Amino acid sequence: MRIQIERISKTFGNVRANVDVSLTIEEGTIHGVLGENGAGKTTLMKILSGYLQPDSGEILIDGHPVSLDSPADAIVHGIGMLHQDPLDVPALSVLDNFSLGLHKGFWHSKRRLRHQFYTLCRRFGVRLQPDERLSNLTVGERQQLELVRLLASGVRVIILDEPTTGISEQQKQVLFETLRRLSEEGMSVVFVSHKLDDVDALCSSASVLRSGRHVGEMSAPFDRDRLVELMFGRAVSAPVHPCSCGTRIALEARGLVVTSRLLELEPIDLSVCEGEVIGLAGLEGSGQRLLMEVCAGIRKPKAGKLLLDGKDVTHAGYRELQAFGVAYVPASRMEEGLVRGLSIREHFALGAHERHLMVDWDSAETKARAQIERFSVVGTPDTRVEELSGGNQQRALLSLLPDDLRLLMLDHPTRGLDLGSEIWVWEQLHERCRRGTVILFTSTDLDELVDNSDRLLVFSGGQVSNPVASAEVTREELGYMIGGVNL
Amino acid sequence: MTVRDLARKLGLGVIPFALAVVTSTVIILALGANPIEAFGNVIGGAYESWAKVADIAMAMVPLLLASAGMLITFAAGLWNIGVEGQMLAGALMTTWLVESIEGPAAVMLPLSVLAGVAGGALWGVLIGLLRVYGGVNEIFAGLGMNFVGSALTNYLIFGPWKPERGATMSGTDPFPLEVWMPMIGHTRASWLALLLAIVAIAVVFIILRDTQWGLVLKAIGLNPVAANRMGVNTNRHLMLALMACGALAGLGGSLQTTAIYHRLIPQITGGNGYLAQLVVLLSGLRAQWVPLVVLFFASVQVGSPRLELRMQLDSSLGGVLQGSVVLFYLLVNGVRQRLGARNR
């Protein structure tokens, strides 16, 4: 199937999300759609998959114009989309989720579905247990399930919107392998991303969007500098992290045993100086987040001691630690970080810890305006946080943090951000380090870990490595350590 | 506000009302009666005399108080189905006070109010404890506690508090005059009860709009995890919300005994705890609309018995009208949101 997008335009209010976009996806190719946050990639893909209708322009399948009025319509035409967050039912089994929406009629033939499931999994090299509860699956595995489900519904063109966000390097490789098999079988894959590396590794051709317009087209092998220029309209390079470590020890863990229902880590001994950045590397779910939650007082350690500026805070709760200048920025912004339905102004009013009876709207307004300006959030104090784009939500979340922190923990601080925003976020964080804040962060991006931290802790299979100076480790070595190889 | 916004807002109120009237009309026609006559009787029945207006005012009191309480728990994202039980608890506590001590009105009236507030608040706290520390969903906790409250009321009426000449469904002995809420002239309306209810709804309006606590409740209601991460003690505020709601509902229950029935009877709440859910839903969780909705509900309640007297129709037809307005409101609201979401 050959898909042609012809002069598509779409406007939301005053925002022109897509302007006259035309591009062609050939049969059997993996086509990348690149662009920074807010470039109009998702809108275009939602139009292609029937979730949105364009204001003008048309879509042609094998030369015939089609109208895609709903996602179901698009699937009938053979186009399916895998969303940024998989839509599924965590309480049901893998097989039940597979059959949802797929199965028509009243009676369920479990045996036939199971057979179909196995056949598809084998064909595309997907390893999933049909009887596993979905809530036990990782994001990457849920993606794979969603993919298999789309394939079962007869889709020939698969759109993936930022699929590598939030999955581990290993899972990414599995996903890429599956996608390559799909294209070998003559299916087309549209791969939406803002990550050059991924597009470079996977795609045979790529289109670049900027501010809603199609600004360029390229085939593999890609000229990366040229792609960056197309994406941002200028050349971008990441600054090298200047070490800002002091000599005073700010955070200390002594034989700290971190546990969850599923995992018990070996005791951790660690001394962190003022202004030091510690990267927590490892496959997702290896305990990095558990350590941060313990340091934030959200989770209690099983044993050991935690000291902050020499003070024993092992048993301090979250709010108590907040008063000491500890902050934790969760990875899921809209679930744990921001309150959907409240405006930016209301967030600042909520964060004001003075125990006044009445809300001081004037000071909340002033604070919100100042921080919006300082953090270049695209929005006004009245904007509700769910109306912000992903990158702006992260900016808003960071702008809510108090200025003087002793310990700042961030779970995937740049997840879903484009290169420009990523660099900007790290400039902000390093600025805090210069003022003595200790930073702990997780990432699945090896470059981000090595470039931005002073030392790394590697989490692998319940073990935590001794701190490694990031200047003395290569990405390859780090990759092996994450995979559990002792060097 | 543009004309379009205004039209949309009016539509949100008028369309469901019209649909409910149509539904009721169909039902009345099916019963073989004249709908115009029936509606005429409801309106006429409600406003035929000053005495009826006074009745409407008194019907508004418990409903206003229970709704004011529910606004608080709804803001915090709680489905506080236990308002009924909280009203009962207020009534029981007040009756207990009356059964235990005697005194002049200047002492007894304030004490009876405090007893009602305390009883309801305590009941709210029990539900809160079940929810926060017992991990019981507040709907089930509240519903369970409603049954407990109702059984306890019956036990007390037929047991410890039964009149000397024997227990009946008509309740305890009448309260001494010292604990009767002061009336307006010779009507059955108590100015003090009405004043308390109006103050309550006004205070809740201000709490939710302008206070730090109101904002905190709103944040918890929308996203408890994020609110917690921002340093809000969610458990404490959930407890406080249930307690505050209980206090207001308890006052409502207490006033049922001291301002209306002047005794404790079974079903002292008159179902106002459940009706308040409908009121709050119909007001779109906005305090400023609650008095209007309550006025409508109370008018129907007072007016519909005339259906039975004049037309031999069951007075529960009024309830059909109340219920269907709420249903259609939710329906119209849902459809509107769906249409709005479509082109996002």
Q: Which of A145, A132, A42, A173 is nearest to A86 (CA)?
A: A145
pLDDT tens series, chain A, 487 aa: 889 999 999 887 666 789 899 999 998 899 999 887 778 888 899 999 988 899 999 999 998 999 888 888 888 899 998 876 666 677 788 888 887 766 565 666 778 888 888 888 888 777 888 888 877 777 778 888 888 888 888 889 999 988 877 677 778 888 898 899 889 988 999 999 877 888 888 999 999 988 888 988 888 888 888 888 888 776 655 556 666 677 788 899 999 998 887 778 889 999 999 889 999 998 777 888 899 999 999 889 989 999 999 899 998 888 889 888 999 998 888 888 899 889 999 999 987 765 678 888 888 999 999 999 888 888 889 888 888 877 788 889 999 998 889 999 999 888 877 777 888 889 889 989 988 899 999 987 888 888 889 999 998 877 888 888 888 888 778 877 877 766 5
Q: In what order do the strands lie in the sheet with A303-308?
A: A268-273, A249-257, A303-308, A311-312
Phi, psi (deg, nearest 5) at residue B323: -65, -40
Regarding whether A413 and A350 lie in a shared domain, the answer is yes
Tell me whether residue A80 is in a domain. Answer: yes
Domain containing residue A170: 3-232
Regarding whether A298 and A176 lie in a shared domain, the answer is no
Regarding whether A225 and A195 lie in a shared domain, the answer is yes
Give the nearest partner residue to A358 out of B210, B219, B230, using CB atoms.
B210
Tell me whether residue A431 is in a domain. Answer: yes
Regarding whether A298 and A161 lie in a shared domain, the answer is no
- Are B232 and A322 within 8 A, CB to CB? no
Q: End of a domain among A232, A258, A273?
A: A232
Q: End of a domain among A169, A198, A232?
A: A232
Regarding whether A78 and A30 lie in a shared domain, the answer is yes
Q: End of a domain among A183, A202, A232?
A: A232
CATH code for the domain in which residue A271 is found: 3.40.50.300
End-to-end CA distance of chain B: 22
CATH code for the domain in which residue B276 is found: 1.10.3470
Q: H/E element holding B150?
A: helix B138-158
Identify all chain B residues contacting A330, using CB atoms and an 8 Å cutoff: 229
Number of CB pairs, chain A paired with chain B, less than 8 A apart? 63
Domain containing residue B65: 60-303
Q: Does A350 touch chain B (CB under 8 A)?
A: yes
Task: Give dist(CA B150, CA A294) in Å, integer.
Answer: 46
Q: Which residues contact A58 (CB under 8 A, 6 or more apart)?
A: A6, A7, A8, A65, A67
Q: CB–CB of A30/A185 below 8 Å?
A: no
Residue with tokens 């709601």: B245
Regarding whether A305 and A447 lie in a shared domain, the answer is yes
Q: Could you check whether the bond before residue A221 is cis, i.e. omega within 30 degrees of 0?
A: yes
Identify all chain A residues contacting B76, using CB atoms and an 8 Å cutoff: none
**Beta-carbon neighbour count of residue A418 at 10 Å?**
23
Regarding whether A275 and A173 lie in a shared domain, the answer is no
Tell me whether residue A7 is in a domain. Answer: yes
Tell me whether residue B311 is in a domain. Answer: no
Tell me whether residue A237 is in a domain. Answer: no
Tell me whether residue B344 is in a domain. Answer: no
Q: Which residues contact B244 (CB under 8 A, 6 or more apart)?
A: B69, B72, B121, B124
Regarding whether A148 and A278 lie in a shared domain, the answer is no
Tell me whether residue B201 is in a domain. Answer: yes
Tell me whether residue A217 is in a domain. Answer: yes
Task: Give dist(CA A173, CA A39) in Å, integer.
Answer: 26
Regarding whether A60 and A23 lie in a shared domain, the answer is yes
Total domain count for chain A?
2
Regarding whether A397 and A309 lie in a shared domain, the answer is yes
Model pLDDT for residues A178-191, shown as the tens digit of each residue: 899 889 988 999 99
- pTM score of the predicted model: 0.75
Q: Where are the alpha helices (DSSP H) in A221-307?
A: 224-232, 288-296
Minimal Cα–Cα distance from A246 to chain B, Å?
A: 29
Total domain count for chain B?
1
Q: What number of helices (H) and strands (E) belong to chain A?
A: 16, 21
Minimal Cα–Cα distance from A431 to chain B, Å?
A: 23
Task: Give dist(CA B154, CA B90) in Å, integer.
Answer: 15
Nearest chain A residue to B220 by CA distance is A339
Tell me whether residue B288 is in a domain. Answer: yes
Model pLDDT for residues A279-295, shown as the tens digit of each residue: 999 877 788 889 999 99
Regarding whether A395 and A360 lie in a shared domain, the answer is yes
